[in-house]
Amino acid sequence: MVEVKIGGTALPGDTVDLVELDKTRVGRGLAFNRVTKEVFSTTAGIVSYNGVSQALGIRSSSTRYTPRVNDVVIGVVSQRTSEFYKLDIKALDTAIIGKLATNKATKQNPLQLENGDVVFARVTHTDSDLEPLVTMKDGTSRADSAFSVLSGGYLIDIPDRAVQFLLSTDPVEMEQARAVRDAMVGHELTVGHNGRAYIRAKDAADTVKVARAYLAVGQRVGDISDPAVLAECVKG
């Protein structure tokens, strides 16, 4: 857990520094711990303060996602049934993934998920009247599909502009994104078109440090080619 000042980037569970404030109202994205008398973040984003209303809150990058066929998404299991699972993908409706929707799943050995599990998948069908369908099949017969259940890391929301930057196929932006990754400690990064990123590093401390850096990058994508901006974003 980290103490964050106003203007800083907070992750869920981080406490907020109130030293400079005489009176304040706890707003969106924050909660008050009555035992420790601390204010902590319940979502990822920028700590902001409105001097007029004296409200302290989190300015989150979370937005509603509109599914498109072949988008890659990171979903969180929200419901289990006998034949499929429902995933929260930050869309208006939950997405559905069948129990056979992986390269190696069979009727005798179906996909097994628990509520809260994080899944990297691909959108296969959208309809205004039906829930979107997703799959972890990648079109090959290999057991090690490009899509999988993600574990051991940290899930964060990132702005659309950061998603576009990190998933860009433009050679210049690809090189810039590579420079961003190389400037951080070693880690694995999975990005979804639905405004989520999943980060896994060698330990919890490094994972949180990298997550915080990507949140900072999301706010400065337009200036990230400037070495000074890049260094500021990844300093942790």
Give CA–CA dist 86/121, Å, rounded: 12
pLDDT reported for residue 143 = 61
Q: Which domains does the chain have, with CATH numbers?
A: 3-59 (2.40.50.100), 72-150 (2.40.50.140), 154-234 (3.30.1370.10)
Q: pLDDT tens digit string along 64-79? A: 788 999 999 999 998 8
* Per-residue model confidence (pLDDT) at position 140: 65
What pLDDT sits at residue 22? 58
Contact 71/81 with Cβ under 8 angstroms?
Answer: no
The answer for residues whose C-beta is within 8 angstroms of residue 27's C-beta and 6 or more apart is: 50, 55, 56, 57, 58
For the segment 184-226, what is each residue's pLDDT rounded down to a tens digit? Answer: 888 999 999 998 999 998 888 888 888 888 888 877 777 878 8
Quick: pLDDT tens for 124-171: 999 888 899 999 988 766 666 688 899 888 888 888 878 888 988 888
How far apart are alpha carbons 67 and 214 in whole angstroms?
Answer: 23
* pLDDT tens string 1-35: 567 777 787 776 788 876 555 566 777 677 777 77
Half-sphere exposure of 61 (CA within 13 A, CB side): 25
Residue 157 and residue 215: Cα distance in Å, rounded? 8
Q: What confidence tens digit (pLDDT) does each residue in 92-122 have?
A: 899 999 998 888 888 888 889 988 899 999 9
Distance, CA of 70 to chain centre: 19
Instruction: Identify whether the C-beta of residue 50 lies closer than 8 Å to the C-beta of residue 223.
Output: no
Q: Where are the beta strands (DSSP E) in the chain?
A: 3-4, 9-10, 15-16, 25-26, 30-33, 38-41, 45-50, 55-59, 72-80, 84-88, 95-98, 118-127, 130-135, 148-150, 154-157, 187-192, 196-201
